Homo-oligomer: A and B are copies of this chain.
Amino acid sequence: MATISDIGVSAGINILSAFVFLVVFAVLRVQPWNDRVYFPKWYLKGLRTSPIESGTLVGKFVNLDFRSYLKFLNWMPEALRMPEPELIDHAGLDSAVYLRIYLLGLKIFVPIAVLAFSILVPVNWTNNTLEKTDLTFSDLDKLSISNIPLGSPRFWTHLVMAYAFTFWTCYVLKREYATVASMRLHFLASEHRRPDQFTVLVKNVPPDPDESVGELVEHFFLVNHPDHYLTQQVVYNANKFSSLVAEKRKCQNWLDYYQIKYSRNPSTKPTTKTGFLGICGERVDAIDHYTSEIARISGEREKVVSNRDAIMPAAFVSFKTRWAAATCAQTQQSRNPTQWLTEWAPEPRDVYWDNLAIPYVSLAIRRLVIGVAFFFLTFFFMIPILFVQSLANIEGIEKAVPFLKPIIEMKVIKSVIQGFLPGLALKLFLIFLPSILMIMSKFEGFISLSTLERRSATRYYIFQFINVFLGSIITGTAFQQLDNFIHQSATEIPKTVGVSIPMKATFFITYIMVDGWAGVAGEILRLKPLVIYHLKNWFLVKTEKDREEAMDPGTIGFNTGEPQIQLYFLLGLVYAVVSPILLPFIILFFALAFVVYRHQIINVYNQEYESGAAFWPDVHGRIVGALVVSQLLLMGLMSTKEAAQSTPLLITLPVLTLWFHRFCKGRYEPAFVKYPLQEAMRKDTLERAKEPNLNLKSFLHSAYVHPAFKEADNEGDDSDEDLVSTKRHQSKHSSKHSFSSLPEDPERSLL
Contact = CB atoms under 8 A, between A and B. Distances in A.
Given A360-B667, A666-B338, A667-B337, A674 B331 contact: yes
A364 B332 contact: no
A624 to B, nearest CB: 15
A224 B332 contact: no
Q: What secondary structure prevails in chain A residues at the interface with B? A: helix
A368 B330 contact: no
A599 B471 CA distance: 63
Interface string A450-480: 0000000000000000000000000000000
B338 A331 contact: no
Contacts of A663: 361, 364
Interface in A617-657: 655
A492 interface: yes
Nearest to A328: B677
A662 interface: yes
A686 to B, nearest CB: 13
Interface stretch (A164-172, A351-359, A481-489, A728-736): A481-489
A360 B664 CA distance: 12
A361 B335 CA distance: 35
Interface string A310-336: 000000000000010011001111110
A334 B333 CA distance: 22
Nearest to A185: B335
Contacts of A678: 220, 223-224, 333-335, 340
Contacts of A367: 662
A227 interface: yes
Nearest to A184: B335
A487 B491 CA distance: 6
Contacts of A492: 487, 489
Contact of A331 (B224, B225, B330, B485): B330
Contacts of A675: 332
A201 to B, nearest CB: 16
A350 to B, nearest CB: 22
Interface residues of A, number: 49
Nearest to A485: B490
Contacts of A679: 335
Nearest to A488: B489
A368 B654 CA distance: 12
Contacts of A224: 323, 677-678, 681
Number of copies: 2
Interface string A582-611: 000000000000000000000000000000
Contact of A670 (B332, B491, B667, B669): B332
Interface string A340-381: 100000000000000000001100100110001000000000
A294 interface: no
Contact of A676 (B333, B372, B659): B333
Interface in A710-741: none
Name the residue in A491, A662, A678 with the highest tally of chain B Cβ atoms < 10 Å from its Cβ. Answer: A678
A360 B666 contact: yes
A326 B667 CA distance: 23
Interface string A484-502: 0111111110000000000
A681 B367 CA distance: 34
A488 B487 CA distance: 8
Contact of A659 (B368, B487, B674, B681): B368
A620 to B, nearest CB: 15
A668 interface: yes
A332 B330 contact: yes
B331 A677 contact: yes
A671 interface: yes
A185 B670 CA distance: 28
Given A331-B331, A372-B655, 9 more contacts: A223-B681, A224-B323, A331-B674, A335-B676, A337-B674, A364-B659, A364-B662, A487-B489, A488-B490
11 contacts: A185-B335, A224-B323, A224-B678, A327-B327, A337-B671, A338-B667, A340-B678, A360-B667, A487-B489, A487-B491, A488-B489
Interface of A: 185, 220, 223-225, 227, 323, 326-327, 330-335, 337-338, 340, 360-361, 364, 367-368, 372, 485-492, 655, 659, 662-663, 666-671, 674-679, 681
Which 5 A-B pairs have CB atoms at the shortest separation, nearest pair first?
A337-B670, A332-B674, A330-B331, A487-B489, A368-B659
